[in-house]
Amino acid sequence: MTTAPLDSTKLVIEKTTNPKEVLPKEKLAFGKSFTDHMLEVEWTAQSGWGTPKLSPYHNFSLDPATCVFHYSFELFEGMKAYRDKDGKIRTFRSDKNMERMNGSAARASLPTFDGEEFMKIIDKLLLADERFVPEGYGYSLYLRPTLIGTTPALGVAAPDKALLYVIASPVGPYFAEGFKPVSLEATDYAVRAWPGGVGAFKLGANYVSCIQPQSEAAKRGHSQNLWLFGEEGYITEVGAMNVFFVFQNADGKKELVTPPLDGTILPGVTRDSTLTLAREKLNSNEWIVSERPLTIYEVKERALKGELVEAFGTGTAAVVSPIKNIEHRGEAIEVPVEDGKAGAFTKQISEWIRSIQYGEEDFKNWSRV
Ligand code: PMP
């Protein structure tokens, strides 16, 4: 028997009769207030994808035995819609999010779907909740596509029912500090991911175990923790962001380095955008762009030699977050930040990405109106 694919043309729309107040920009807190509507599509193993629904934001009613509550059959995406200078709404590289979401779904024994069909109904949500997309740099509507297993049974098995849904939250700049360099603690007593594990997928289960080390780092005055792996101290990610370093090499060239996608690292859309823009726009006589393993000891040694120039994290929520120091086993690795400000490349990449997101520059059709 063939099962139904996800079909955007079947979308059923029920608009709210009780519109919410749009919060003033200064009151926006990350992911705390939501728009008037949400999207839902149910799936069953027997019939495939059901009728997509756009309806007023509401609670779910689920059986306490539902498998998502017991075995973490859950995965999600994080993407944003931006208002451009003409008032039009744009999403940034949503095809990458759809591809990653389907990869996560396949790994979590949840159903996959046609990403373009899903984006077409997300476009309808953006139109319905258009008034919640704030304007201005740093402001956007954060979209949270989510997929959960909904089989109401305790047997540990692939779900035969699932729910794909999307909620949306108007947001401002992610870090209270703004574009100010942050301090990190390198975690050496816990790892985020491991070879053969699921660190490359955006499963909710990957996040629960990361909070405790992050809280520990926060207690000692750091904004985020730096995730290491193995005896060698390989650098993997920073908090829930990918990480980049800029070194001044002895041959006079600068090197932009990020760890390779070896299965322990989430393939970030901002990471890929940073690498692509750096490879296209930087002068290759002056720069090397590398995806290669690097250890905390290399960073420490090169900082001491004065060869560490910049360090920053990348992710949808904050886009680019400059780093000012890393504490590792009681020793501080200092990243040179002049007057407490981000370095030149960190600023440059953040501006390049921003101008594409807000539709000021057209680059490889990364921005979808
Ligand atoms: N690593 C982790 C663990 C993350 O949760 C995120 C945020 N999705 C990222 C990296 C950055 O990915 P992106 O640039 O796609 O937001």
For 191-243, how does the pLDDT look when each residue is reduced to its tens digit (9 = 90+)? 999 999 999 999 999 999 999 999 999 999 999 999 999 999 999 999 999 99
Mean pLDDT of 97-101: 98
For 236-253, how does the pLDDT look when each residue is reduced to its tens digit (9 = 90+)? 999 999 999 999 999 999
pLDDT at 218: 96
- pLDDT of 175 above 70: no
Name the least confident of 23-27, 50-54, 109-113, 282-286. Answer: 23-27
CA 67 vs CA 1, 2, 109, 161: distances in Å: 25, 25, 12, 10
- pLDDT of 178 above 90: no
Average pLDDT score over the chain: 96
Percent of the residues in the chain that have a pLDDT greater than 90, as a whole number: 92
For 315-360, how does the pLDDT look when each residue is reduced to its tens digit (9 = 90+)? 999 899 999 999 999 999 999 988 778 899 999 999 999 999 999 9
| CA-wise closest residue to 204 among 12, 366, 69 | 69
Identity of residue 337 = V
pLDDT at 177: 57
Question: And the tokens for 122?
Answer: 């997300």
For residue 7, how far is its CA from the centre of ligand 1 (angstroms)? Answer: 28
pLDDT at 209: 95
pLDDT at 30: 87
Which stretches within the chain are classed as H helix? 67-71, 94-107, 115-128, 205-208, 211-219, 269-281, 296-304, 344-357
Q: Are 278 and 348 in contact (CB under 8 A)?
A: no
Closest ligand 1 atom to the C-alpha of 266? 1
CA 37 vs CA 88, 285, 297: distances in Å: 19, 51, 49
For residue 337, how far is its CA from the centre of ligand 1 (angstroms)? Answer: 24
Confidence class for position 160, pLDDT limits 50, 70, 90: very high
pLDDT at 334: 96
For residue 119, how far is its CA from the centre of ligand 1 (angstroms)? Answer: 19
Claim: this prediction has a pTM higher than 0.90: yes
Closest ligand 1 atom to the C-alpha of 237? 1
For residue 318, how far is its CA from the centre of ligand 1 (angstroms)? Answer: 10
pLDDT at 339: 77
Confidence class for position 174, pLDDT limits 50, 70, 90: confident
Closest ligand 1 atom to the C-alpha of 97? 15
Confidence class for position 4, pLDDT limits 50, 70, 90: very high
Distance from C-alpha of 264 to C-alpha of 183, rounded to nearest angstrom: 23
Residues whose beta carbon lies within 6 Å of some atom of ligand 1: 78, 237, 240-242, 266, 268-271, 314-316
Question: And the tokens for 103?
Answer: 């990869």
Pocket probe for ligand 1: among 316, 350, 353, 366, the residue whose CB has the most ligand atoms within 8 Å is 316
Pocket probe for ligand 1: among 202, 224, 241, the residue whose CB has the most ligand atoms within 8 Å is 241
Confidence class for position 29, pLDDT limits 50, 70, 90: confident
For residue 283, how far is its CA from the centre of ligand 1 (angstroms)? Answer: 27
Name the least confident of 2-16, 45-59, 285-299, 339-353. Answer: 339-353
Which residue, judged by its Cα, is nearest atom 12 of ligand 1? 268
Look at the chain and count its residues.
Answer: 369
Which residue, judged by its Cα, is nearest atom 9 of ligand 1? 241
Q: Is 101 exposed, middle or buried (0-12, 13-18, 19+ CB in 10 A)?
A: buried
| CA-wise closest residue to 101 among 45, 146, 160 | 146
pLDDT at 149: 98
Range list of β-strands (E), the chain: 12-13, 37-44, 48-49, 53-56, 74-76, 79-83, 89-92, 140-149, 161-171, 182-187, 224-229, 234-238, 241-248, 254-258, 287-291, 308-315, 319-328, 331-334, 367-368
- pLDDT of 147 above 90: yes
